[in-house]
Structure 1
Amino acid sequence: MTKAEFCGLTLKDIDLEKRTINVNHQLQYVGNKGKYIEKTKTEAGTRVLPMSDEVYAAFKRVVQNRKKPKVEEMIDGYTGFLFLDRRGKPMMPYQWEKRFQHTVEKYNKIYRVQLPKITPHVCRHTFCTNAAKRGISVETLKYLMGHTDISVTSNVYTHLKLEDAQR
C-alpha cells in the first residue's frame, strides 16, 4: 500500500477476525489545505488485502498497543487513525517517511554494514519483487498493489533479474 493509504488506516479498516485490511481512502496533507482524506487514486486502489501471519501479528500488536489520544482527531469524518505521532495526532505520510529515514540513520550509526536509503516506496517495490520471485501471479500482484494497468506492476514495480528466471 502507498504511504498515504497506510497513514490513512483506521481501526475500522483492520479486521483481525477476517485477517483483512480495507483500503478505500488515503490521508493527505498540503500546506495551504491542511490534512484531508481522499479516495484512493483509482478504482483499482480500493481493495481488501489479506494479512499474512506476520502482517496479522504486527497489526494485532499495533491495535493492542495504540494509545488512545486525549481527543480523537476527526478528518473528513474519519477517526481512530491507527498510526499516531508523539502528540497523538494522525501520522502524515511525510512523517512516516521521516521515521523511516531516522531508523535507517540510527541503524547505520550502530552497525558497520550500512543500510542503503530505504523509504516506504522502496519497500513497496521490494514487496512486489519478492512476491513475484515467490511465484505470485502478476494479476494477483496488480490487485494487491492497487494498480489499474498490469504493465505498471510488471514493468515498474517488479525488478527481476536473469538469476530469478533461471530458478
Structure 2
Amino acid sequence: MGKQEWRDGEMRDGIRKVRNARASKAAGKDVYSFKVPYRDANGKQTSETFSSFTAASRFRNKVRQQRDEGLSIDPKAGRISVKEYAEKWLAAAASKREGTYTEYEKRVRLYIVPALGGRQLRAVTRDEVQKMINDLKRRGLSPMTIRNVHRTTVALFRTAQVIDHKIASSPCVSILLPELPDREVEVLTAAQVREVSAKMPARWRAVVLVAAGTGLRISEVVGLTWDRIDLEAGSVTVDRQMSTKRLLAPVKTRKSRRVVPMPDVVADALRAHREAFPPLMQEVGDLDGKTVHRTALVFTRADGAPANAGDVRRPFMRARDAVGLPASVTFHVLRHTYASLLIAGGTHLTVIRDRMGHSSISITSDTYGHLYPEENERTRGAIDAAFAADDDPDDGAAGSLARV
C-alpha cells in the first residue's frame, strides 16, 4: 500500500496542512502552509503557521518539550524585538540602586541594542551573542567592560526566560569571554595624600583625608551628615550615600552598612572643617522620592546645596595634576590607599573587608591579597619548621601516618 496523500486541512501528528489561497493564486498552482495548534501560557487555543513542514516540525517539537517540562511559555511572546523588550526591562530596573540602573542603561544603549536590537527576542542565538562579544573585543574595549556587557545581557535574557516567560532558553550560554589581566592596585603615600589635600580648595580639603583615612567611597563621603560622625568616640557610621541627583540613598549593599573607626588625623581635619564651614540644617530629599531628611551635611557646595561625586572629582583631578601625580590616580585610589595602610599595619583581610564594606572576602582578597608579601615568608617558615621537626631522629612517630 502506497503512502496516503496528505489532504488539505488534514492534521498529522500535531501539524495541519492548509492550502494558502493567496500564494496559490500568485504561483498558479497549489501552495500549502503548515499550521501547528497549541495552547498559550494563558491556556488559550492558538496556532502558528509556517511555509515549510520542517519549520513546523521544529516548532511543534519545541511546544511539546515545553509542555512536557511543565513550562508555560507562549512561543509568540518572543516575537518582541530585543530593543523593545530591553526598554521594558530597563523601566522595571529603574527601581534598582541608581548606579546599577545607570550602568544597565549605558550598556543596553551603547552595546546590546546596536548588536541585537533588531532581532526578535526568541530568534537570538548563542552565535550572535558571541559575535557581539567578539566585536567589542575587536573595538578595543577593556576585558572588564566586555564582561560587564555580557553580565547585563545575561540578566536581560534571564528575565525574559525565568520571569516573563517569553523564551524557553537563554542564548547567553557557554560564551567565551576575554581574560582579565592581573589586577594592579595604585596607592599613594601618606605624604602624597597630604599634598593633594593641601592643593584642594578649602571646602574640599578634608574630603581627601576622610577618604584616605576611613576608606569610604566617594558617594559615601559626600553623603556624610554630622549626626553620623562621633568625633569624641572616633567613629563614622556609614549607612547612606549621595546620589548623582544630590539625593540621599541607601549604601551600595547590606555589607556596606558599617561603623568605621576614625583616626585622629581625620578627626582633626573634620574639626577644622566644621570650624571653617559651620553645619547648616537643611532638608535633603531621598532617592525614594518620598522621604525628606532634615539634617546637616558635612560637605556642601559653595551655595550650601548638597554635593555629589562630580563636585569633588573635578577639584581632586586639578589638585592631583598640581602635585604631579599621573592621570591614573583617581579619587578611588584614596580607598585603595586606606586598605594598603591597614595591610602595612598587619590588619587581617576579614577586618579590612568589614571596614571597607565589601560584600564578600573574595573581593577583598582578589583586590588586595597581593599586598601581603610577608605572607610568603611566613609560608616558607611554617613548612621549613614542620620538616625540621620531622628530621628529629628521636621522634618515635617516624614511619607512621599523622592524622589531622
Task: Compute the TM-score of the two structures, normalised by the length of structure 2.
Answer: 0.36
The question of 1:74 aligning with 2:289 is answered no
User: Is residue 279–residue 298 contact of structure 2 (8 Å, CA) maintained in 1?
Assistant: no
The aligned amino acid for 1:15 is D
Using CA pairs under 8 Å that are at least 6 residues apart, name the structure with larger relative contact order, 1 or 2: 1
Shift of residue 103, structure 1, vs aligned partner: 1.1
Q: Map of 1:84-103 to 2, 5 A cutoff?
A: 84-103=300-319
Residue deviations 1:103-156 (CA, integer Å, cap 9, x gap): 12233xxxxxx2123322111112112211221110110011001211111212
The question of 1:105 aligning with 2:321 is answered yes
The aligned amino acid for 1:21 is V
Question: Please, which of 259, 263, 275 is the counterpart of residue 64 of structure 1?
Answer: 275
Question: Please, which of 224, 228, 241 is the counterpart of residue 26 of structure 1?
Answer: 241
Identity rate, percent: 30
The question of 1:11 aligning with 2:226 is answered yes
Cα 1:13/1:161, change in 2 over 3 Å: closer
Distance 1:67 1:159 in 2: 42
Distance 1:165 1:64 in 2: 47
Shift of residue 161, structure 1, vs aligned partner: 6.8
- Structure 1: stretches of 5+ with no match in the other structure: 108-113
Q: In structure 1, what is the equivalent of residue 333 of structure 2?
A: 122
Cα 1:85/1:97, change in 2 over 3 Å: same
Distance 1:165 1:145 in 2: 25
Distance 2:370 2:217 in 1: 18
Residue deviations 1:22-62 (CA, integer Å, cap 9, x gap): 10010001xxxx33221111111001111111111112222
User: Is residue 11–residue 63 contact of structure 1 (8 Å, CA) maintained in 2?
Assistant: no
Cα 1:116/1:166, change in 2 over 3 Å: farther
User: Is residue 229–residue 236 contact of structure 2 (8 Å, CA) maintained in 1?
Assistant: yes
Q: In structure 2, what is the equivalent of residue 110 of structure 1?
A: none
Cα 1:93/1:152, change in 2 over 3 Å: same
Q: Which has the larger radius of gyration?
A: 2
User: Is residue 23–residue 45 contact of structure 1 (8 Å, CA) maintained in 2?
Assistant: yes
Distance 1:131 1:161 in 2: 11
Distance 2:370 2:275 in 1: 36
Give the 4+ runs in structure 1 shifted more than 3 A: 161-167
Shift of residue 166, structure 1, vs aligned partner: 5.6
Distance 1:132 1:88 in 2: 37
Distance 1:158 1:99 in 2: 31
Distance 2:225 2:307 in 1: 11
Q: Which range moved further: 114-123 or 8-17?
A: 114-123
Q: In structure 1, what is the equivalent of residue 367 of structure 2?
A: 156
Task: Compute the TM-score of the two structures, normalised by the length of structure 1.
Answer: 0.82
Q: Which range moved further: 77-86 or 17-26?
A: 77-86
User: Is residue 220–residue 242 contact of structure 2 (8 Å, CA) maintained in 1?
Assistant: yes
Cα 1:120/1:157, change in 2 over 3 Å: farther
Cα 1:103/1:53, change in 2 over 3 Å: same
